[in-house]
């Protein structure tokens, strides 16, 4: 022990010198990187000509942050981390205690309870009208992403097929509902399953020719299909309304018994003699999407322990071995594609009913990227991890919209909204760097003889196709 | 179920006739014919690059042969022309299972799950192609229990029962080899094709493998076709040996017959430098002790 | 006929730009097997660097020769994007090398979001127009060739020659090709793999910066969102040509440029991108590894 201590002390000046060096280097690097973009601001003057002015102060802040940050990391944070790692290694691998806390053990039940009670709690805290923001922006918004990510999880997390155009199926679902309810006046409850079936159908049509492709070729073709569908929706104005989209889409009703249309006789608020508010509709939608999420989770869990789900996971691990066992890999991939697409279609028709408006704007590649990011950040294949990732990433960025107090700090010109996606991107990078396997890296086996042991993430593969 | 060669007897399970496989300008297999008898262990041996694995890949459908006919006859007399089936159909319909030279397990699935994946087709049918199973109807539950029971039996035979709930990627090398064989057996094959099952095994593991293979042949009646480098394994367990060199058959017969065939000795000692060196080293080592 | 030649020229110009960006995708893919989604945004950063350099330059020296201005813009853009791409590789990709395949892909997508939003925040969301740099136009019968088109094609050709020389004839290129073939083996034989990969990122960034400068000169406008569409097109070009193959990237770029301009000319502008993507899907279905890509042999 004294040996290592003295050596640590001896190397300290060396570490400091290195920290200063690296700090200076980071400062110079930051200066080079930010000089043009931060140090100089371009703007259009009154004559509409592009002119520039300097922002030396801001540039100095950027450079200082980089230099000091690097200095602190190399000089203090890293040695401490190394020391901790060393002492951990010396102490041996700590036994993972089986004695999980009450919260940990009942995590699922507790979170279910919290979700079911969420709207009444919010209403009682903020009043009916005040609850709108919380139920809609946080509740429904996050749950839509949970559902989409769980749907994509079937394709990417279980079957290991990299799909960069998942948003296409979301769009198919949304437009199916919008068009069919507009043209034929069919109800939400009829169109919801139909939208899912149509999306699954599209999944098969698009999937069939491309599933022979492997890895990154599959990724780019799915991206291409996603863009094709969006571009067609954008340009086929006669049917889809083009960039303007379709508005005035019928609301969902409570199984046709109570309606949420303001003029209707059976309006929910009217029937129960409540003050008029759009919050009731949102609360109703919250429970609808919650139910849809639960169905998605139930079906996924059930399928995982059935032959088809096992074949998906086996496909992710080794496609050739699958074929040697008599598994028709094309059919297996298609079912994964179709079922993933179906969930996307459900979510899409829900989205259309919630917004009352759809346009191609909502189905850009960025959406596919965000959904994929949630799946990977959560830990591929893990429903819990994915739900956590959706809450953190979507909830986090939604939260940013609400941070009005920042205006008092940074001045009235400051719009936190502007930084939403910037921070989202940074968070994606940061989570991947610290947890490359996502929040939940291990997988639960689907069958066991004696005891159910989680499989460590280091054994599972991520698929090649 | 294509009517095959009428001269074929009931106890020939696999008949390869005039098989050729060309990769660009290279003739990997040239007009090869061989037979494997039902209930026997047939070994395919030969120096490196003789085309053994290519023959295997043609039989199991991973390569489409340039020419030739591969006929498989099942116990009940059904015949299949394997060169016309795709790889997964060969396992599914013709009941030929295989293992790989560099083990291909589902390393992130548990040992038990590996064996359940192998029973995919049977379970798919039982689950009414998922729909009935999802609704909890039909015989799926019973079949699923049966599948676990079959897996348990094979785990016991392969001496893997204690590791059943561990990830397959966590097993030691020898155990992975045995698991791959057990997994292939769970597909319920009539012909089991093993690509170098003893490669990289220590003597103890090699012995355990021999026992497993013998018990497969004797207890299930499954015929075995194997590629092997390890002569001790080949000579000890095979009933019939076919020797390949440069894509052609140079000898065919019982282990004793093949061992003494001058052509085989020449192929192993005279042609392949690596093998020769190996033998020399062994002799030198033996001499110094 | 003249109309066709005209469109061919337009397509060639656009294709040159796509080709330059596509090389960056294909090189990075070849050497570390990763889709560098942020590459399109590096192209956009290059355009912005050129734009800012142009503004600063013209406000200090009025009447600077166009050729000199263009050269300075290009060099500044190359330097700045090289710094960025080097840093990004160092900070965001290198720690993930050799880990789980999707992790670097997600970081790259994250990086792409960061870069475009960084420019949106620091330079504002509006389009940035600059006055046209080159106005000269030549007429050959009914075919009009603008000088800027010629500049783009010539600069691309020169760069590709230099680039081809570096990859095929220099020790650096040999190190790159060795690393591409087998990273471990290359390291064992004394190739500094980290350095080689860093240089690959720098080269890709430099080419993208030139493409960004050309794009700015051609269209006369820069926007923070310009990374995505040209980026995806260039990536499509790389895949169409066979990802990992350098001639393939150039060929793919030219093809995409031609498809786009010919489709707009003869069918409909609205569906030009649909045509591009549909042809990509079609080619890949029949040739699953692209036009010049090495066929992937399934080792059993």
User: Domain holding A308: CATH number?
Assistant: 1.10.3470
pLDDT value at residue A5 = 45
Task: Give pLDDT, residue A2.
Answer: 43
Phi, psi for residue A230 in degrees, rounded to 5: -65, -45
Grouping H, G, I as helix, E, B as strand and the rest as coil, residue B70 is strand
pLDDT of the residue at B203: 85
Say yes or no: A400 and A424 in one domain.
Answer: yes
Band of the pLDDT at B2, cuts 50, 70, 90? very low
DSSP three-state, residue A198: helix
Same domain, A72 and A115: no
Class of domain B1-95+189-259: alpha beta
Number of domains in chain A: 2
- Low-confidence residues in chain A, pLDDT < 70: 1-12, 91-105, 404-414, 462-465
Contact predicate B96/B90, CB 8 Å: yes
Q: Which of B161, B170, B184 sits opposite A459 (nearest CB)?
A: B170
Average pLDDT in the B156-184 region? 88
Which of A64, A91, A118 is the last residue before a domain boundary?
A91
Contact status, residue A383 vs residue A150, Cβ threshold 8 Å: yes
Question: Does residue A68 lie within any of the structural domains?
Answer: yes
**Chain A hits for C221, Cβ within 8 Å:** none
Q: Which residue in B86, B106, B192 has the most chain A C-beta atoms within 10 A of its own C-beta, making it the best mutation to test that interface? A: B106
Return the residue of A nearest to C237 by Cα.
A220
Contacts of A443 in chain B (CB under 8 A): 108
Residue A113: closest CA among A123, A121, A124: A121
Give me chain B's average pLDDT, please. Answer: 81
Chains A, B: CB contacts under 8 A, how many?
A: 141
Report the 3 state secondary structure along A23-85: HHHHHHHHHHHHCCCCCEEEEECCCCCEEEEECHHHHHHHHHHHHHHHHHHHHHHHHHHHHHH
The helix or strand, by DSSP H or E, that contains position A299, with its residue range, turns out to be helix A279-304
Residues forming beta bridges with residue B29, ordered by sequence position: B21
β-partners of residue B35 are B15
Of A67, A91, A115, which one is at a domain's C-terminal end? Answer: A91
Instruction: List Cβ neighbours of C196 (8 Å cut-off, separation of 6 or more).
Output: C31, C172, C175, C176, C179, C186
With a cut of 70, say whether residue B288 has pLDDT above it: no
**Stretch B207-212: mean pLDDT:** 86
Q: What is the pLDDT of residue A411?
A: 65
**B100, C300: Cβ pair inside 8 Å?**
yes
Residue B254, classed as helix, strand or coil, is coil
The token pair that represents B227 in the structure block = 């590629």
Closest CA to C71 of C151, C131, C177: C151
Our CA-based measurement puts residue A152 at a distance from the nearest CA of chain C, in whole angstroms, of 14
Residues A58 and A164 in one domain: no
Q: How many residues does chain A have?
A: 465
H-only helix segments in chain C:
2-32, 39-60, 66-88, 102-123, 147-169, 171-181, 183-188, 193-219, 228-241, 246-266, 272-286
List chain B residues with CB under 8 Å of C300.
Answer: 53, 57, 62-63, 100
Question: pTM for this one?
Answer: 0.87
Residues of A with CB below 8 A from B166's CB? 453
Closest CA to B80 of B236, B246, B191: B191
> Which pLDDT score, from 0 to 100, does residue B49 have?
79
- Range of the structural domain that residue A276 is part of: 105-434
Measured distance CA(B89)–CA(B87) in Å, rounded: 6
- Do the beta carbons of residue A348 and residue A170 sit within 8 Å? yes
Chains contacting B (3 or more CB pairs within 8 Å): A, C
Give the residue with greater pLDDT, B128 vs C41.
C41
Q: Name the strand (E) or helix (H) holding B72.
A: strand B67-73
Number of neighbours of residue A94 by Cβ within 10 angstroms: 7
Q: B1 in helix, strand or coil?
A: coil
B269: confidence class by pLDDT, cuts 50, 70, 90 = low
Q: Give the pLDDT of residue A371.
A: 93
% pLDDT > 90, chain B: 6
Question: If you search the block for the tokens 């209930």, which residue do you land on?
Answer: B39
Q: Decide if B54 touches C, using CB distance below 8 A.
A: no
**A92 CB-contact burial (10 Å; exposed 0-12 / middle 13-18 / buried 19+):** exposed
- A64 and A121 in a single domain? The answer is no
A450 contacts B165? CB cut-off 8 A: yes
The strand pairing partners of B19, in sequence order, are: B32
Q: Looking at the structure, do residues A50 and A120 belong to the same domain, yes or no? A: no
Please tell me the predicted confidence (pLDDT) of residue A420: 83
- Whether B3 shows a pLDDT value over 70: the answer reads no
Spatial separation of the C-alpha atoms in residues A230 and A242, rounded to whole Å: 10
Q: Are residues A134 and A44 in the same domain?
A: no
Q: Are residues A239 and A120 part of one domain?
A: yes
Domain ranges of chain B: 1-95+189-259, 107-187
- Does the beta-carbon distance from C298 to B57 stay under 8 Å? no
In whole angstroms, what is the distance from residue A143 CA to residue C83 CA? 40
State how far the Cα of A395 lies from the Cα of A139, in Å rounded to an integer.
9
Taking CB atoms and an 8 Å limit, are B57 and C300 in contact across chains? yes
Q: How far is C176 from chain B (nearest CA, A)?
A: 29
**Could you please report the per-residue DSSP string of C96-143?**
GTTS-THHHHHHHHHHHHHHHHHHHHHH-SS-EE---S---EEEETTE
Is C89 in contact with C197 (CB distance < 8 Å)? yes
List Cβ neighbours of B271 (8 Å cut-off, separation of 6 or more): B47, B245
Report the alpha-carbon angle A354-A355-A359, nearest 5. Answer: 135
For residue A314, tell me if it sits in a domain. Answer: yes
The mean pLDDT value for B279-287 works out to 48
Q: How many CB pairs under 8 A join A and C?
A: 176
Q: Classify residue A277 as left (phi > 0), alpha (psi -120 to 50) or beta.
A: beta
Greatest Cα pair distance, chain C, in angstroms, is: 67
Same domain, yes or no, for A282 and A361? Answer: yes
Give pLDDT, residue A31: 93
pLDDT higher than threshold 80 for residue B125: no
Residue A41 and residue A133 in one domain: no
Q: Return left, alpha or beta for B68; rule: phi > 0 is left, psi -120 to 50 is alpha, else beta.
A: left
- Greatest distance between any 2 Cα atoms in chain B: 71
What is the DSSP annotation of B114-168? HHHHTTHHHHHHHTTTTHHHHHT-TTHHHHHHHHHHHHHHHHHHTT-GGGTTSBG
Q: Which residues contact B35 (CB under 8 A, 6 or more apart)?
A: B12, B14, B15, B16
Token pair of A283, please? 């609360």
- For residues A82 and A131, membership in a common domain is answered with no
Report chain C (300 residues): mean pLDDT per 10 consecutive residues.
Answer: 86 93 90 89 95 91 85 95 95 86 88 93 88 84 86 91 89 88 86 92 94 93 89 90 87 93 86 87 82 69
Q: CB of B249 within 8 A of CB of B32? A: yes
Is residue A457 in some structural domain?
no
> Cβ of B169 and A318 within 8 Å?
no
User: Which tens digits make up the pLDDT trace of A190-248?
Assistant: 889 999 999 999 999 888 887 778 777 788 888 889 999 999 999 888 888 888 888 88
CA B113, CA B166: separation in Å to the nearest integer? Answer: 10
**Cβ–Cβ under 8 Å, residues C97 and C116:** no
A127 domain residue, yes or no: yes
CB within 8 Å of A407: residues ≥ 6 apart: A414, A416
**Closest by CA position to A353, among listed A258, A281, A451:** A281
Q: Which of B120-134, B242-256, C198-212, C255-269 has the lowest mean pLDDT?
A: B120-134
Distance between CA atoms of A346 and A338, rounded to whole angstroms?
12
Which positions in chain C touch A424 (Cβ < 8 Å)?
A: 110, 113
Q: Cβ of B120 and A451 within 8 Å?
A: no
CA distances from A138 to A7, A133, A393, C101 (A): 52, 7, 11, 32
Range 46-85 of C in CB contact (< 8 A) with A: 48-49, 51-53, 55-56, 59, 76, 79-80, 83-84
Q: What element of type H or E holds A313?
A: helix A307-317
Interface of C with A in 204-263 (CB under 8 A): 228, 232, 235-236, 239, 243
Residue A383: count of CB within 10 angstroms of its CB? 23
Residues A337 and A363 in one domain: yes
Return the beta strands (E) in chain B as ranges.
Answer: 12-23, 26-37, 41-45, 67-73, 79-81, 96-98, 191-195, 223-227, 240-245, 248-253
CA distance A96 to A85: 17
How far is it, in rounded angstroms, from Cα C98 to Cα B275?
A: 36
**């020419």: which residue's tokens?**
B67
């Amino acid at each position: 022990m004294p040996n290592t201590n003295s050596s640590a002390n001896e190397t300290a000046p060396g570490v400091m010198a290195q920290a200063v060096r690296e700090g200076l280097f980071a400062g110079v690097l930051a200066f080079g990187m930010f000089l043009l973009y931060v140090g100089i601001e371009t703007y259009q003057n009154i004559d509409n000509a592009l002119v520039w002015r300097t922002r030396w102060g801001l540039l100095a802040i950027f450079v200082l942050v980089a230099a000091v940050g690097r200095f602190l990391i190399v000089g203090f944070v890293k040695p401490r981390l190394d020391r901790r790692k060393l002492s951990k290694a010396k102490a041996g691998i700590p036994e993972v205690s089986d004695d999980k806390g009450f919260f940990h053990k009942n995590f699922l039940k507790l979170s279910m309870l919290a979700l079911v009670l969420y709207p009444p709690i919010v209403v009682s805290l903020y009043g009916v009208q005040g609850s709108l923001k919380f139920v809609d922006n946080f509740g429904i918004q996050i749950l839509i992403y949970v559902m989409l990510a769980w749907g994509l999880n079937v394709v990417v997390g279980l079957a290991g097929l990299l799909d960069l155009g998942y948003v296409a199926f979301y769009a198919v679902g949304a437009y199916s509902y919008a068009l069919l309810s507009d043209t034929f006046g069919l109800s939400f409850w009829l169109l919801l399953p139909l939208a899912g079936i149509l999306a699954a159908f599209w999944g098969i049509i698009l999937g069939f020719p491309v599933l022979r492709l492997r890895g990154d070729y599959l990724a780019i073709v799915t991206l291409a299909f996603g863009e094709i569908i969006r571009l067609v929706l954008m340009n086929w104005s006669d049917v889809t309304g083009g960039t303007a989209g379709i508005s005035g889409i019928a609301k969902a009703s409570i199984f046709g018994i109570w309606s949420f249309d303001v003029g209707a006789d059976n309006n929910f608020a009217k029937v129960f003699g409540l003050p008029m508010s759009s919050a009731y509709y949102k609360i109703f939608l919250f429970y609808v999407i919650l139910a849809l999420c639960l169905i998605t989770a139930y079906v996924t869990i059930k399928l995982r322990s059935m032959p088809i789900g096992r074949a998906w996971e086996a496909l992710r691990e080794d496609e050739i071995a699958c074929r040697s066992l008599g598994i028709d890999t094309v059919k297996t991939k298609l079912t994964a594609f179709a079922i993933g697409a179906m969930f996307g279609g459900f979510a899409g028709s829900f989205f259309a009913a919630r917004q009352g408006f759809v346009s191609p704007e909502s189905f850009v590649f960025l959406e596919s990227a965000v959904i994929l990011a949630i799946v990977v950040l959560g830990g591929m294949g893990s429903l819990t991890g994915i739900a956590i990732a959706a809450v953190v990433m979507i909830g986090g960025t939604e939260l940013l919209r609400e941070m009005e107090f920042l205006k008092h700090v940074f001045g009235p010109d400051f719009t936190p909204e502007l930084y939403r996606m910037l921070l989202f991107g940074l968070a994606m990078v940061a989570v991947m760097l610290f947890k490359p396997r996502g929040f939940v890296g291990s997988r639960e086996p689907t069958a066991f003889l004696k005891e159910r042991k989680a499989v460590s993430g280091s054994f599972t593969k991520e698929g090649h196709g | 179920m294509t009517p095959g060669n009428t001269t074929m007897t009931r106890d020939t399970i696999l008949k390869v006739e005039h098989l050729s496989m060309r990769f660009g300008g290279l003739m990997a297999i040239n007009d090869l014919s061989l037979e494997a008898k039902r209930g026997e262990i047939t070994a395919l041996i030969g120096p490196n690059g003789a085309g053994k694995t290519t023959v295997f890949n043609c039989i199991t459908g991973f390569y489409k042969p340039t020419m030739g006919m591969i006929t498989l006859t099942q116990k009940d007399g059904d015949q299949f022309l394997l060169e016309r089936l795709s790889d997964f159909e060969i396992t599914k319909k013709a009941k030929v299972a295989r293992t790989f030279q560099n083990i291909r397990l589902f390393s992130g699935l548990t040992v038990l799950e590996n064996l359940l994946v192998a029973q995919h087709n049977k379970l798919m049918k039982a689950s009414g192609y998922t729909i009935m199973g999802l609704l909890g109807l039909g015989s799926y539950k019973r079949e699923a229990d049966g599948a676990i029971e079959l897996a348990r039996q094979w785990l016991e035979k392969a001496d893997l029962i204690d590791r059943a709930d561990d990830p397959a990627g966590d097993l030691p090398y020898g155990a992975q080899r045995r698991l791959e064989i057990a997994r292939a057996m769970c597909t319920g094959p009539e012909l089991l094709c093993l690509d170098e099952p003893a490669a990289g095994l220590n003597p103890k593991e090699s012995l355990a493998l021999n026992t497993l293979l013998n018990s497969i042949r004797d207890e299930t009646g499954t015929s075995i076709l194997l590629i092997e480098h390890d002569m001790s394994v080949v000579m000890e367990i095979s009933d019939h040996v076919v020797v390949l060199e440069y894509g052609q058959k140079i000898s065919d017969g019982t282990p004793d017959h093949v061992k003494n065939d001058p052509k085989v000795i020449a192929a192993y000692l005279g042609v392949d430098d690596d093998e020769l060196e190996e033998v020399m080293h062994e002799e030198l080592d033996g001499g110094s002790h | 006929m003249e109309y066709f030649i005209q469109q061919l020229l337009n397509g060639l110009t656009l294709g040159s730009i796509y080709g330059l960006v596509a090389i960056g995708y294909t090189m990075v893919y070849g050497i570390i097997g990763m889709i560098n989604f942020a590459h399109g945004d590096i192209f956009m950063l290059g355009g912005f660097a050129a734009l800012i350099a142009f503004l600063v330059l013209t406000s200090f020296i009025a009447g600077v020769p166009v050729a000199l201005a263009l050269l300075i813009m290009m060099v500044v853009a190359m330097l700045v994007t090289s710094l960025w791409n080097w840093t990004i590789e160092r900070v965001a990709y290198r720690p993930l090398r050799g880990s789980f395949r999707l992790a670097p892909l997600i970081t790259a997508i994250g990086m792409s979001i960061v870069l475009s939003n960084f420019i949106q925040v620091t330079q504002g969301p509006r389009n940035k127009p600059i006055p046209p740099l080159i106005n000269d136009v030549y007429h050959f019968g009914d075919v009009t060739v603008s000088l800027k088109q010629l500049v783009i094609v010539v600069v691309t050709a020169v760069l590709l020659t230099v680039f081809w020389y570096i990859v095929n004839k220099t020790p650096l290129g040999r190190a790159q090709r060795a690393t591409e073939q087998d990273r471990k083996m290359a390291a064992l034989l004394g190739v500094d793999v980290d350095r080689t990969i860093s240089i690959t990122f720098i080269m890709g960034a430099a080419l993208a910066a030139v493409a960004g400068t050309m794009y700015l000169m051609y269209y006369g406008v820069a926007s923070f969102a310009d990374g995505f569409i040209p980026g995806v097109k260039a990536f499509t070009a790389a895949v169409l040509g066979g990802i990992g193959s350098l001639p393939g990237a150039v060929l793919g770029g030219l093809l995409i440029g031609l498809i786009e301009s010919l489709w707009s000319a003869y069918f409909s502008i609205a569906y030009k991108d649909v045509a591009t993507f549909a042809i990509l899907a079609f080619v890949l279905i029949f040739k699953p590894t692209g036009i010049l890509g090495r066929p992937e042999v399934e080792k059993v």
